[in-house]
């Protein structure tokens, strides 16, 4: 899946960000910090505007980050996919036929090696690598895991985006609205 050549996955932290994204041409968007009472209406709003929201399951206040929450999100809220650090959430998302995006924090060599073992078990559709400003690590993870990569975290400049994409990332997740506008089709 190539996300229709969408190279930026704009990530909304606030409802104002979501509203701003409704006016932009991006099809896939990421919903970060939200609250359980808002999540269904936010997803419904984005879908009504032709968007395909990817929910960050770990960042929904009031919802435990486990398989039951994933089941609820997949069957009731019905986003295009879920992003999570939790293998159980990834497994449940895949069972429900939604895009499963495994988020990895690559802090050191030990974390990187543990991540490879995790990816063998979860086999997500995509991996989100954080921080996304390490092109050589993006290349290594993409080659070793054989799973498409999103780069995210600490992406601040056009050059950061281009380096991540050149290193093999399918797309870059960013909450930087200046970068949304710069890369919009």
The pLDDT of residue 7 is 95
User: What are the structural domains, with CATH classification, of the chain?
Assistant: 7-183 (3.20.20.70)
Q: pTM, whole model, 2 decimals?
A: 0.96
pLDDT digits (tens, 9 = 90+) for 30-63: 999 999 999 999 999 999 999 999 999 999 999 9
pLDDT of res. 112: 95
DSSP 78-124: --SEEEES-HHHHHHHHHTTSEEEEEEE--SHHHHHHHHHHHHHH--
Residue 99 CB contacts under 8 Å (≥ 6 apart), including other chains: 1, 54, 80, 81, 82, 93, 125, 126
- Name residues of the chain where pLDDT drops below 50: none
Q: Which helix (H) or strand (E) holds 152?
A: strand 149-152
pLDDT of residue 22: 97
Instruction: Determine the Cα–Cα distance for residues 71 and 141; give it in Å rounded to an integer.
Output: 29
Q: Are 6 and 27 in contact (CB under 8 A)?
A: yes
Specify the pLDDT at position 2.
65
């Amino acid at each position: 899946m190539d996300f229709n050549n969408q190279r930026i996955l704009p990530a909304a932290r606030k409802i104002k960000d979501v509203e701003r994204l409704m006016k932009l041409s991006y099809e896939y968007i990421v919903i970060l910090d939200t609250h359980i009472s808002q999540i269904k209406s936010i997803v419904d709003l984005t879908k009504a505007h032709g968007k395909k929201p990817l929910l960050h399951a770990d960042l929904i206040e009031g919802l435990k980050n486990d398989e039951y929450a994933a089941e609820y999100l997949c069957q009731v809220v019905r986003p295009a996919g879920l992003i999570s650090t939790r293998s159980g959430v990834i497994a449940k998302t895949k069972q429900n036929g939604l895009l499963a995006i495994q988020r990895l924090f690559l802090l050191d060599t030990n974390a990187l090696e543990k991540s490879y073992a995790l990816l063998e078990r979860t086999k997500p559709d995509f991996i989100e690598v954080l921080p996304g400003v390490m092109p050589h690590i993006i290349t290594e993870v993409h080659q070793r895991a054989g799973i498409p990569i999103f780069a995210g975290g600490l992406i601040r400049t056009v050059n950061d985006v281009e380096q991540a994409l050149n290193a093999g990332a399918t797309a870059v997740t960013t909450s930087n609205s200046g970068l949304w506008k710069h890369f919009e089709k």
